Amino acid sequence: MIRLLAPLALGLGLAGCGLQPMYGGGGNGAVARGLGSVEVPAIEGQSGWLVRNALIDLLGAADGGAARYRLDVRLDDRLEGLGVLSDDTIGRERRTLRARYQLVDLADGEILVDATAGSDAGIDVVSSEYATIAAEQTALENLAREVASQITTRLALTLRAAK
């Protein structure tokens, strides 16, 4: 009997705590619809192309649909040498990707979100130049996905509060 009542008691306890699912209603919920109505204009550079594609995937933005919001993004992509070896070559690099973004309501031009997101990655510089370039590219791709994820989460929280 206790085994049957325990899940019920846990369910009632969670219902009373005030937590609500972020994407309540699934793809038809207010947050999902709001994210899907965000237009993402082109962002400059290779890092911009990667971040924009990741944002479009995460937001679920429909091409050609009526946009209600515009997401303006400016990126700062840096690659710095960190560790200097005894032969005066760089042994480690740090790739940093930072984004400054604004969510603009197209109806009245009001800026709903003005924030930053960013991430960084360490890269070992090896004797093979090809391997180092491949590692730098992989780091950029991973950073673009991470920054897009941070932006999407912030937009979802904002749109959830506005519903």
Domains of the chain by residue range: 22-162
Q: How far is CA 63 from CA 50, 57, 134, 135, in A?
A: 17, 11, 32, 32
Q: How confident is the prediction along the chain (163 residues), in pLDDT tens digits per residue?
A: 666 676 766 666 655 555 455 444 545 566 778 888 899 999 999 999 999 999 999 998 655 568 899 999 999 999 998 877 778 778 889 999 999 999 999 999 999 999 999 999 999 888 899 999 999 999 999 999 999 999 999 999 988 877 5
pTM of the model: 0.80
Kindly indicate whether the domain formed by 22-162 is annotated with CATH number 3.40.50.150.
no
